[in-house]
Amino acid sequence: MTPMRRIGIMGGTFNPIHNGHLAIAKKAKEQFLLEKVLFMPSGVPYMKDQREVLPIQVRCEMTALAIRDISDFELSEMEAADAALGKNTYTCDTLQKLRIADPDAAYYFILGADSLYAMEDWKNPELIFQNCTVLAAVRTADHVSSQITDTAAQTTGGIHAAPERREMHFSAMSDQAAKEPETIRLLTAHAQYLRRKYHAFVEILEFAGIDISSTQIRERARKGESLQGLLPEAVIAYIWQNHLYEKHS
């Protein structure tokens, strides 16, 4: 029997795509020997401010620009096609479609810690966990901590006491060196919780964390501040040329 082809899926709003997304996809590809990574811009998640999210075509365009020179990174418009029609897309359905389209592939869903903490609230998490291995990367403590206070602290309550976690996290906020192992410990504990509860395959990426978010990029663009180093040059040029994010419309 030939071994299954391993395919990564990097899903996101990508409003805009940035170097944090590219870095975790690269790490996932290396660490799990993925044949390729599909970058899949999604529709507007209900929890995001709809006015702030650019049309799906524009987000696909930026994604294509960001990955055009990187071999084995591909744009997938599987969710975008539905989003363009105003239909909601759900990861559980996407994974099922992918499996039907390519039954000989094993799928690796790549995400950041905030998404891992939120996954139980996604549609049909059982089905998601049945159909892929989840690869989770730390985000910087600032991103992680705000999520942890609400979700993971409760959900992993059996493993660590929630109040203790909250305190430890916020008291460590000023000390970068001290908080990093803590974010990894929390992420590892949450992965373990999901493995036990759902028989999920969840792995942690060996990733130091990059402090970049699309929110931060949109804010900088609005103020006309430099975007250098936060996302690929071609995407930066596209953002300025098209006056994206300069005003809140």
Q: Contact positions toward ligand ATP, by CB under 6 A?
A: 12-15, 20-21, 24, 111-112, 114-115, 137, 139, 210, 212-215
Q: Which two tokens stand for residue 223?
A: 């103020």
Q: How far is the CB of 104 from ligand ATP (least distance, A)?
A: 26
Q: Closest CB to ligand ATP among 111 and 236?
A: 111
Nearer to ligand ATP, 63 or 131 (CB): 63
Query: Are residues 122 and 91 in contact, defined by beta-carbon separation less than 8 angstroms?
Result: yes
Minimum CB distance to ligand ATP smaller for 57 or for 215: 215
CB of 155 to ligand ATP, least distance (A): 17
One-letter amino acid of 143? H
Q: Which of 243, 238, 230, 219 is nearest to 62 (CA)?
A: 238
The CB density around residue 222, as the number of other CB atoms within 10 Å, is 12
Residue at token pair 């006309």: 224
Q: Toward ligand ATP, which CB reaches closer, 114 or 180? A: 114
In the complex, the smallest distance separating the C-beta of residue 231 from ligand ATP, rounded to whole angstroms, is 10
Q: What is the three-class DSSP state of 74? A: strand
Letter string b/e over residues 40-75, b meaning 16 or more CB atoms within 10 A of that residue's CB: bbbbbeeeeeeeebbebebbbbbbbbbbeeeeebeb
Q: Which is nearer to ligand ATP, 74 or 114 (CB)?
A: 114
Residue number with CB closer to ligand ATP (52 or 93): 52
Q: How far is the CB of 214 from ligand ATP (least distance, A)?
A: 3
Q: Using the structure block, give the residue that is written with the tokens 């964390």.
A: 209
CA atoms within 13 A on the CB side of 67: 27
Q: CB count, 10 Å around CB of 88?
A: 14
SS3 label, residue 106: strand
Residue nearest to ligand ATP (CB): 112
- Residue 62 CB, shortest distance to ligand ATP, in Å, is 11
Contact 4, 39 (CB under 8 A): no
Q: Select 167 or 176, whichever has its Cβ closest to ligand ATP.
A: 176
Read off the tokens for 197.
């509860």
Q: How far is the CB of 23 from ligand ATP (least distance, A)?
A: 7
Report d(CA 97, CA 107) in Å as an integer: 12
Smallest distance, Å, CB 178 to ligand ATP? 19
